């Protein structure tokens, strides 16, 4: 009988914190500026420059630690991790090895077999590196240090996951917690959340772990799932052939659906960590922790309960809306303006999510204002525009965040509610289509649909369908 294998997975998740400035200097963390426009002597590692810790980084790290049930290390400090690479101008990365800020936590995930706790070994604070771009023309590399010094937390899980589904559930949970805390936007595609997967396989029933590999370059949930399947298959094949799995770092190529061993930097594992003498220790008092605990915003579970009680929407809607901080914020802000929770929910759950999917976006990329959605709902509910016009206007809001009042006015999309004008048009439609009128009188209910269509066409789609129906029946 073929051997049965179990996959053992641990994750190292890097999250860029949502601070305005870098971890050790007053440079902006804004994404996408021209190369090196957000740099100073500190984040380019100039000799003699001195790092000073951004307090907000510590506060975010503590908040994430508390929300993931960790113990906060009340006396912690920074260490230097030494390695040479052009994206790291100091030749060391400031990180935490000996006394990471959070330890021994965990989050609960749902699996087909029930609830399961994924342990968190530690969370530490560190700085991000710069960005290297290869220049084909001159066959050289170009370094942009805008990202150098952007604050990161690295969340190191225990090797508690056994499948790609569990990994995705864990990442989803972390992402939701961190987004709700406002500590990061956690966009995988922009790199503000990055996951390295440590994976090994062993025979079912074995107590020892197999040799693990680490996989990098995973920038979507789909890529993570595919990489896990691919690496599991690769390792099992090696074992079946009687070969050894080599402990190494591999880079996942999502197009080729295969991972490649990364050229090992010479003796890269010897980082010679030591305490950073430029940074003084951090002492975190009980009061400080309590203050952060009290200021913790409402997390998903509480929000879900509140939605079910406070708003007249189905439980299913509440589940979907609270599954993303962006959706939940939009829902609440829009409902606050128009007081029609079910209508708001419908626009978000149906049209918004449809457009997100069609445009191959993430929910985090939604970027229209609650004011404009609220105005659109008013327009549709008052009958000022009909439902097909409303959908059309919504697409403009979704894409360009236009003001629907202005847009409808400018494009002349208002429904014609003027009964006199409508009546005249319908009279003409009836006169022009005697066959349909006869069909209708002969009991073909469907014929009225054709007449409604003709009327809408004559009114350029701007008639109020309810009114058209009413007048048609009356005249017939």
Tell me how far, at minimum, the Cβ of 43 lies from Zn ion, in Å: 3
Give the residue, chosen from 3, 263, 294, 446, that forms a contact with another protein under the rule CB under 8 A.
263
Q: How far is the CB of 50 from another protein (least distance, A)?
A: 10
Question: Does position 132 bind another protein by CB under 8 A?
Answer: yes
Helix (H) or strand (E) holding 82: strand 79-82
Q: How far apart are CA 99 and CA 282, in angstroms?
A: 10
* Smallest separation (angstroms) from Zn ion to the CB of 88: 14
User: What is the smallest separation between the CB atom of 88 and another protein, expressed in angstroms?
Assistant: 11
Q: Is 287 in the site for another protein (CB under 8 A)?
A: no
Q: How many chain residues touch another protein (CB under 8 A)?
A: 56
Backbone region of residue 12 per phi and psi (left: phi > 0; alpha: psi in -120 to 50; beta: other values): beta
Q: Which listed residue (71, 141, 301, 382) binds another protein by CB under 8 A?
A: 141
Query: Which one of Zn ion, another protein, none is in contact with 256 (Cβ closer than 5 to 8 A by kind)?
Result: none
- Taking the complex as a whole, the smallest distance from the CB of residue 184 to another protein amounts, in Å, to 14
Whichever of 53 and 363 has its CB closer to another protein, that residue is 53
In sequence order, the 6+-apart residues with CB closer than 8 A to the CB of 380 are 343, 386, 387, 390
Scanning the structure block, which residue is given the tokens 């009958």? 383
Residue 38 CB, nearest distance to Zn ion (Å)? 7
- Which of 307, 309, 349 lies closest to 332, judged by CA? 307
- The residues near 444 (Cβ < 8 Å, ≥ 6 apart) are none
Q: From the CB of 182, what's the least distance to another protein, in Å?
A: 13
**Cα–Cα distance, 296 to 64 (Å, whole number):** 10
Q: Which of residues 25-44 bind another protein (CB under 8 A)?
A: 25-28, 34-41, 44
Taking the complex as a whole, the smallest distance from the CB of residue 90 to Zn ion amounts, in Å, to: 12
SS (H, E, C) 379-403: HHHCCCCCHHHHHHHHHHHHHHCCC
| Choices 2-10, 198-206, 280-288, 375-383 (CB under 8 A): range interacting with another protein | 280-288
Instruction: Answer yes or no whether residue 389 interacts with Zn ion by CB under 5 A.
Output: no
- In angstroms, the CA 208 to CA 314 distance is 48
Q: Around Cβ 374, how many Cβ atoms within 10 Å?
A: 22
Q: 379: which 2 tokens?
A: 């327009």
Any contact of residue 85 with another protein (CB under 8 A)?
Answer: yes
Q: Which of residues 22-61 bind Zn ion (CB under 5 A)?
A: 25, 27, 40, 42-43
From the list 19, 90, 425, 455, which residue makes contact with another protein (rule: CB under 8 A)? 19
What is the CB neighbour count within 10 angstroms for residue 336? Answer: 12
Q: Say whether residue 48 binds another protein (CB under 8 A).
A: no
Cα dist from 164 to 63, 205, 321, 383, 463, whole Å: 27, 20, 25, 48, 52
**Torsion over CA: 72, 187, 198, 262 (sign):** negative
| 253/405 with CB nearer another protein | 253
Q: Which residues bind Zn ion (CB under 5 A)?
A: 25, 27, 40, 42-43
Binding site for another protein (CB under 8 A): 19-21, 25-28, 34-41, 44, 46, 52-56, 58, 75, 77, 82, 84-86, 99, 132-135, 138-145, 251, 262-263, 266-267, 270, 272, 275, 277, 279-283
């Amino acid at each position: 009988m073929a051997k049965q294998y179990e996959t053992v997975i641990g994750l190292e998740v890097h999250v860029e914190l949502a601070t305005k400035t870098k971890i050790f200097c007053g440079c902006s963390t804004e994404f996408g500026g021209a190369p090196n426009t957000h740099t100073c002597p500190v984040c380019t590692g100039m000799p003699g420059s001195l790092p000073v810790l951004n307090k907000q980084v510590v506060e975010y790290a503590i908040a994430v630690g508390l929300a993931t049930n960790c113990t906060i290390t009340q006396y912690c400090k920074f260490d230097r991790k030494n390695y040479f690479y052009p994206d790291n101008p100091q030749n060391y990365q400031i990180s935490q090895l000996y006394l990471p800020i959070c330890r021994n936590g965990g989050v609960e995930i749902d699996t087909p077999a029930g609830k399961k706790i994924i342990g968190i070994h530690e969370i530490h604070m560190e700085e991000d590196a710069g960005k290297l771009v290869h220049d084909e023309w001159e066959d050289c590399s170009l370094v942009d240090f805008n990202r150098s010094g952007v604050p990161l937390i690295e969340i190191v899980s225990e090797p508690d996951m056994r499948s790609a589904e569990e990994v995705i559930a864990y990442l989803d949970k972390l992402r939701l917690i961190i987004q709700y805390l406002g500590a990061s936007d956690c966009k995988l595609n922009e790199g503000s959340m990055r996951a390295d997967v440590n994976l090994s396989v062993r025979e079912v029933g074995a107590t020892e772990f197999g040799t693990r590999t680490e996989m990098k370059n995973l920038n979507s949930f789909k890529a993570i799932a595919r990489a896990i399947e691919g690496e599991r298959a690769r390792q099992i094949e090696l074992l079946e052939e009687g070969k050894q799995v080599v402990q190494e770092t591999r880079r996942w190529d999502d197009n080729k659906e295969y991972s490649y061993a990364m050229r090992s930097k010479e003796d890269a594992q010897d980082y010679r960590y030591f305490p950073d003498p430029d940074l003084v220790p951090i002492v975190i008092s009980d009061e400080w922790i309590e203050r952060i605990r009290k200021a913790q915003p409402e997390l998903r579970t509480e929000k879900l309960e509140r939605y079910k009680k406070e708003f007249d929407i189905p439980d299913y809607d509440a589940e979907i809306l609270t599954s993303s901080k962006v959706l939940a914020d939009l829902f609440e802000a829009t409902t606050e303006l128009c007081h029609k929770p079910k209508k708001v929910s419908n626009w978000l759950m149906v049209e918004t999510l449809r457009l997100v999917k069609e445009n191959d976006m993430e929910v985090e990329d939604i970027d229209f204002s609650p004011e404009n959605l609220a105005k659109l709902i008013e327009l549709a509910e008052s009958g000022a525009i009909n439902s097909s016009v409303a959908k059309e206007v919504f697409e403009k809001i979704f894409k360009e965040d236009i003001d629907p009042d202005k847009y409808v006015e400018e494009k002349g999309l208002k429904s014609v509610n003027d009964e006199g004008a409508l009546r005249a048009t319908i009279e003409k439609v009836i006169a022009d289509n005697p066959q349909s009128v006869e069909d209708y009188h002969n009991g073909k209910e469907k014929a009225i649909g054709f007449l409604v269509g003709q009327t809408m066409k004559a009114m350029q789609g701007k008639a109020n369908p309810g009114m058209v129906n009413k007048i048609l029946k009356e005249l017939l």
